[in-house]
Structure 1
Amino acid sequence: MKNRWKVTSFAMAFAWSGLMPALAHADPVWDRIRSSGHLVCGAIPSDPIGSWVDPKTGQWEGYEIELCRQMASDLSKTMGKKIEPEFRETGWNTVVLDIQSQKIDIWPGMSATPERQKALSMVGPIYTLAMCGMVGRNFQTKDTWADLNKSNVRIATVTGTSVETAFKKTAPEAQQVTLAGYSEVTMAVQSGRADLMGADVLRCLNVAKSAPNAFSGVVYPKPIQSLDSSAGVLKSADHLTAWLQKWADEKRTSGDVKKLFLSVFQKAGLDASKIPPDVQF
């Protein structure tokens, strides 16, 4: 009887040891996507270029939306079943909590700040955004960082953004004028308080369309410097995280991500012809 107990105990321990790796690597998000047939992505109604609702069709559009659609399409091949993209409204002030509460599965584009890395798995970069500057009408500059990195150059950026951090790092000798929002930054350049509005390629394209007479042009300082954007997913989504990282690397290397952005720019009515050919996404 005693020996039989030992054998039974050993068998149970062996069985549990075989199950532990599977349990330890369970991914609730991956399993839910496969079970439901839906990849739930966040969408922000007022996020210019990133996501918006087309008033004619009532459908979501934008590069964040197209990234999710492509992810769902490729997940369909991986999972061997149709995965439909589903969009649920979120906001910049709630997106992290919405992922943690599993209201949404993913938000495909945000900076991997230390705070977000503590709260989420940040996968990426999913895409990169080249840094650029909207040039004031009375300011003359060439298209190099060396020309901007001078003590008599005044660069205006929005306080607390990754763009502010990047311009301070890349042009440390310039005078940095940091303001609360892009409307204040625009006014600073127009009034002569600043020489250049520091931004990323999306912002520069949008400003060039909405305020064509406010600036003399746009400059992409060389060598091209870019800001990384990552996808945020649940911390325990190990399987999805690994799949997304491989997906992002392949899509960026193949140039598919750049094609996706250029297609969205066309839909948004933005003039992408002025983007230097060496700018990637």
Structure 2
Amino acid sequence: MKFKIALKATAIALALGASCAASANALDDVKSRGTLVCGTLGTSEPFSFQDPKTRQVVGYEVDLCQEIADHLGVKLEIKMIAVAARIPELVAGRVDVVAANLGWSPDRAQQIDYSYADYVSPQKILIRSSDADTLKTPADLSGKRVSAVSGSSSEAGAKRLIPNVTTVTFKDPPTSYLALQQNKVSGFVGSELMLLKFEQESRKTGSKTQMIDKPLFTEPWGIGVRKGEKELLAEVNDTLAQLEASQKAQAIFDKWFGKDTKFYTKRTFKFEEIKG
């Protein structure tokens, strides 16, 4: 009898626990915990990367996560995640938000919710300069092999937009770039600024590379929030809206992409709703 009572009590406890977990509010969890866990890559300068002097993860997306944490009155915890793990980590609740070069796509928008656009990225193709005479447009890579980061929108875009292309995927940008240097692929597909870094590196060592001028496609990026977490999403968007209104959004952009940086580019977008 005692054993049956114990089993019944355990079942009730488990049911109550499951009910609480199912009805948990992500915003309440963040505030009660006192910490916002932000998933980011840590390998994509200047968006998120390890500072060689401090070994701390810094960058444009890290600063945005810090602004959200400050807005909520909590501490920020950065968790480095792989490109392919971005959505699984978010859905499983191991991170509260994802700020990790997260390009918007209809498929992803069915799995997670997106904040306002926090960046707009031309996706381009990096090639060896020795191939520049024959590879002038993305279409010229038809039937060839290109590298991309596994699970990235660059991989999906290459498959969708380059006829008969073979995509060779890797876990991170450096290994994708190495494949190009080792002549294993004819091109490396990625965000323009990420490819710019590798293009600059190639001027010092390895085979010289350059980007094809015409973008493969252009995509807005946003901060990912678990599907249905409307309160947390509203706070994230409120943070971005305040940054835009106060012009701090421009200041953060200039910190990482301004004239005094190696990633100089003009800001041609605003923090606003992504219209798919």
Calculate the TM-score normalised by the size of structure 2: 0.64
Determine the C-alpha separation between the residues in 2 that align with 1:44 and 1:184.
15
Which runs of 5 or more residues in structure 2 are unaligned?
1-22, 271-276
What amino acid is the match of 1:89?
K
Letter of the 1:166 counterpart: G
Once residues 96 and 153 of structure 1 are traced to their aligned partners in structure 2, the CA distance between those partners, rounded to angstroms, is 30
Give the one of 189, 197, 202 matched to 2:193.
202
For residues 118-197 of structure 1, the aligned pairs below 5 Å read: 119-140=111-132, 147-150=137-140, 154=144, 156-158=146-148, 161-170=152-161, 172=162, 176-181=165-170, 183=175, 186-188=178-180, 191=183, 194=186, 196-197=187-188
Deviation string, structure 1 residues 94-131 (Cα, Å, up to 9, x no partner): 55454445443211232456775455333343322212
Give the match for residue 20 of structure 1.
none
Measure the CA separation in 2 of the matches of 1:168 and 1:129.
Answer: 18
* Helix, strand or coil at the partner of 2:69: helix
TM-superposed CA distance for 1:263, in Å, is 2.1
Distance 2:262 2:134 in 1: 22
Structure 1 residues 264, 203: closer, same or farther in 2, change over 3 A?
same
Matches within 5 A, 1:217-232: 217-221=210-214, 225-232=217-224
- What is the number of residues matched between the two proteins? 239
Q: Bigger radius of gyration, 1 or 2?
A: 1
Taking structure 1 as reference, are residues 141 and 199 closer, same or farther at Cα in structure 2, changes over 3 Å only?
A: farther
Give the aligned partner of residue 239 of structure 1. Answer: 231
User: Is the contact made by 2:121 and 2:219 (CA closer than 8 Å) also made in structure 1?
Assistant: yes
Supply the distance in 1 between the matched residues of 2:85 and 2:143 (Cα, whole angstroms): 37
In structure 2, the partner of 1:59 is 56
Q: Which secondary structure does the structure 2 equivalent of 1:138 belong to? A: helix
Aligned pair partner of 1:105 in 64, 72, 96:
96
Name structure 1 gaps, 5 residues minimum.
Answer: 1-25, 77-82
RMSD (Å) for aligned C-alpha atoms: 4.2
Whether contact under 8 Å (1:130, 1:220) holds in the other structure is no
